Amino acid sequence: MNSPVNEEVQALMEAAHDRAAKALGLTCTGPLAWGFLGVTLGRRAGDRWLRVSRTAKRNAGRKAGEGTVGASELLPDGVPRPHLHAVHDWTDGEWAFESAVQDYLTQPVVSPDRADIDHDPGLPDDWWADLRQALALLAEAEGAKATVRDGWIERAFPQFLGVPAPARVERVTGHGDLHWGNLTAAPLCLLDWERWGRVPFGYDAGLLHANSLLVPDVAARVRQEFAPILDTPAGRIGELAALAEMLQAVARGWYPDLAPRLVARAEALTGVRPPVPVHSEVSA
């Protein structure tokens, strides 16, 4: 979806990917698939997909029940996702690397180059039904961590929405990064399980809706499909959490085209026009 930020990052990640492939006995072919700011790198290996990610060495070690491995262990089979076959992790210098071998998917990603969309992908009714079912099953699963933390919500609502934080946030288990770059066309598959956990009720649907605002017909379809969630007080809080996170990204320079739609949607929900976004390093 993205390219590495510089040649040093590119060389580092390509070497790490080669190391993981050798350790796992894989032969990779085809184009490189870069993640956000070169933090991840994926490539096809026959009917498998090898994805390598890096983080600071101080963060080394997978936490029980979290990420791709936790999803493989805890989520029901009815939640469509690539099957996890193997992992291989190591540290080198200042970096910790994690690699995962999953199924290579033949169906296309809905939006392979961006999280939001600028056109209607024309998804069939069955696809929407499958997405509703997947999120319903996911909501009932055990989740090990809180995604979109309460402390962040307390700071982000007034900073990015201009309203007080809610006194209570209802949570369910969710994907945590449900946008169009993490969904495939039919058959539906949900990608990138690094952020899944206990999310505010309505957050997943709200995030998908926010990433649909450039295409009013698709945004309306999201609202229609998830009305039983979004049209509730708890669901409204979840959608506002998603909007606050998107507006934080706007403050960091992302989504310039989407920004006015995000501001308008937040104002429609709260009756308060959000503050003009400014640069922020608040972490969710």
Kindly list the domain boundaries of the chain, sorted by start residue.
Answer: 7-103, 125-270
Per-residue model confidence as pLDDT tens digits over 234-266: 999 999 999 999 999 999 999 999 999 999 999
Fold of 7-103: Phosphorylase Kinase; domain 1 (3.30.200)
Convert 192-228 to b/e letters by CB count within 10 Å (16 or more is b): bbbbbbbbbbbbbbbbbbbbbbebeebbebbbebbee
- Give yes or no for residue 281 having a pLDDT over 60: no
Phi, psi dihedrals of residue 11, rounded to the nearest 5°? -65, -40
Element (H, E) at 71: helix 67-74
Q: How many CA atoms lie within 13 A of 84 on its CB side?
A: 20
What integer is the mean pLDDT of 104-110? 97
Bridge partners, residue 174, by sequence? 197
Where on the phi/psi map is residue 88: left (φ > 0), alpha (ψ -120 to 50), or beta?
A: beta
What percent of the chain stands above pLDDT 90? 93
Rounded to a whole number of angstroms, the CA Rg of the chain reads: 19
Fold of 125-270: Aminoglycoside 3'-phosphotransferase; Chain: A, domain 2 (3.90.1200)
- Give yes or no for residue 132 having a pLDDT over 70: yes
Q: Please, are residues 51 and 40 in contact by the beta-carbon 8 Å criterion?
A: yes
* Gap between the Cα atoms of 229 and 121, Å rounded: 23
Q: Which tokens belong to 189?
A: 């598959």
Per-residue model confidence as pLDDT tens digits over 32-90: 999 888 999 999 999 999 999 999 999 999 999 999 999 999 999 999 999 999 999 99
Tell me whether strands 171-174 and 48-56 are parallel, antiparallel or unpaired.
unpaired
The predicted pLDDT at position 251 comes to 94
- Give yes or no for residue 1 having a pLDDT over 70: no
